[in-house]
Amino acid sequence: MKLRDAPSACPSLWRCLPCPPAELRLDLVLSSAQSFRWWESSPGAWTGVLGERVWTLRQDRDRLWYTVYGEEDEHEEEERDGCSAKAAKLDGAEADGILRDYFQLDVGLSALYRTWEAADPLFCKVAKDFPGVRVLRLDPIECLFSFICTSNNHISRITAMIERLCQAFGRRLCCLNGRTFHAFPSLSALTGTDAEDRLRALGFGYRAKFVSGSARAIAEGLGAEGLSQLRTAPYAEARKVLCALPGVGAKRYGVAAGGKSLTPRAYQEIGDFFRRLWGPRAGWAQAVLFCADLRKSQQRASSRDQAWDSRSQDSHGNGPR
């Protein structure tokens, strides 16, 4: 199956969920620096790894379409032709459940937007252009180590780093249209004695120490299951446990203090302000504003690049005549 195939072209290979754009916008959510494992494989179609399988997702009016690719066995890996994986025979209810959990579709987003718009004029101004921005329910291991990689970094470099991480430490899943996909590394894969050196060789720099150190700390302490259980722990408790890990600390997007680091008290006060303003899902509202700022920043960068290209062409006599 080719990535360019539309759902209507191969109905037997695709399933769908009811999901209007006001509840989910794939193009905004999957490019908003929450997960770094999705790429726009063809216009409107996004391919990535979820639950140790490779998926392609796309939207059509009020439906979310998806197909899932099967894993290669050793024989298929050796004999594959054209590097195109086959659609997997996955239980429909199971697949629906994975997507519902990942996108947290049980949370009514439209109602939350109305609440945030009523509480915050800034949110109201942004919301109409950025509907359907949800917080993904990422695997805790992938979430933790992906965001350790975000320190002093930008999206394209983070994405490339995580791709190298998965290729070097993750299990191969399948090859699709010339691109090989790997699962995110297990905790045990990142605790080897040579893990830090291998990560440095992959270009992780000082983050290599944090990734390998956090992997060992989790393996020797609360374990992968304990990390997952932090999802239901009180916020203060979960933050305390996470901030004890190497490379994990407080972060607040868009806050400046004259170039100085914010104190723990200042972080707490800022967080409390937004929790009072936006309510119990304040992090979701912040994700919408972050997405808006990110998209505007990308548009400005694109405009600068186009202006630079134009000036460069003019300086070499290649501009419009």
Q: Catalytic residues, which ones?
A: 251
What is the rounded distance in angstroms from the CA atom of residue 176 to the CA atom of residue 49? 12
Tokens of residue 254, six digits: 């868009």
The partner residues of 246 in beta bridges, in order of sequence, read: none
Please name the residues in contact with 102: beta carbons below 8 A apart, sequence gap of 6 or more. Answer: 50, 51, 136, 137, 138
What is the rounded distance in angstroms from the CA atom of residue 207 to the CA atom of residue 81? 38
What is the rounded distance in angstroms from the CA atom of residue 224 to the CA atom of residue 214? 11
Phi, psi (degrees; rounded to nearest 5) at 57: -120, 150
Q: How many CB atoms lie within 10 A of CB 99?
A: 20
Please name the residues in contact with 55: beta carbons below 8 A apart, sequence gap of 6 or more. Answer: 47, 48, 49, 66, 67, 68, 69
Helices then strands, each counted (H, E), the chain: 13, 7
Tokens 């695997």 belong to residue: 139
Compute CA distances 49 → 31, 32, 41, 66, whole Å: 14, 16, 13, 13
Tokens of residue 73, six digits: 């066995």
